[in-house]
Amino acid sequence: MPKFTFDPEIKEALDSFLLDNPEVEPGKAFGMPAYYVNGKMFAGVFGDGATIKVSAETAAELLERDGVDELQPMAGRTMKNWVIIRHDDPAGYVGDKDLFSTAFDYVYALTKEKK
């Protein structure tokens, strides 16, 4: 398995607003910082970006933006409904709070559907 890395400054930026929500559970996924709701991951830090899980429709819209790509942890292995967002400055992620909120809401709804 490849060794994955992450930028700790991106984690700090995400922690600054995601951990304000008491329903967000910090954790790890493949050794990377991750954020969970009801035991399901909705966001994380991977390499030089931040990842979010959103609906297929939202993912398609986001992929039209600069700095947003499909998440491929390994070349050619796209993760369905996951995108990676990249900013030159880690502070840029704070401006994406609405996207992380959308991801939280999407995954939260998925966890409620199964109960």
pLDDT tens digits for 13-41? 999 999 999 999 999 998 899 999 999 99
pLDDT at position 2 over 70: no
Assess if residue 3 is contained within a domain. no
Is 80 within the bounds of a domain? yes
* Residue 77 counted as domain residue: yes
Exposure string for 4-31, b = 16+ CB within 10 A, e = fewer = eebbeebbebbeeebeeeeebbeeebee
Number of residues assigned to the chain: 115
Query: For position 102, which CATH number holds?
Result: 3.90.1150.30
93 inside domain? yes
**Which residues does 41 contact at the CB level (< 8 Å), separation at least 6?**
27, 29, 34, 35, 53, 107
Phi then psi for residue 91, to 5 deg, are -65, -20
Task: Tell me what pLDDT residue 115 has.
Answer: 52
- Whether residue 41 lies inside any domain: the answer is yes
Number of domains in the chain: 1
Model confidence over 47-103: pLDDT tens digits? Answer: 899 999 999 999 999 999 999 999 887 677 778 899 999 999 999 999 999 999 999
Q: What is the pTM of this model?
A: 0.91
pLDDT for 79? 82
pLDDT at 5: 82
Q: Determine, yes or no, domain membership for 73.
A: yes
Does residue 42 register a pLDDT over 70?
yes
Residue 28 lies in a domain: yes
Residue 83 lies in domain? 8-110
Is residue 27 assigned to a domain? yes
For residue 3, name the pLDDT band (cuts at 50, 70, 90): low
Half-sphere exposure of 41 (CA within 13 A, CB side): 16
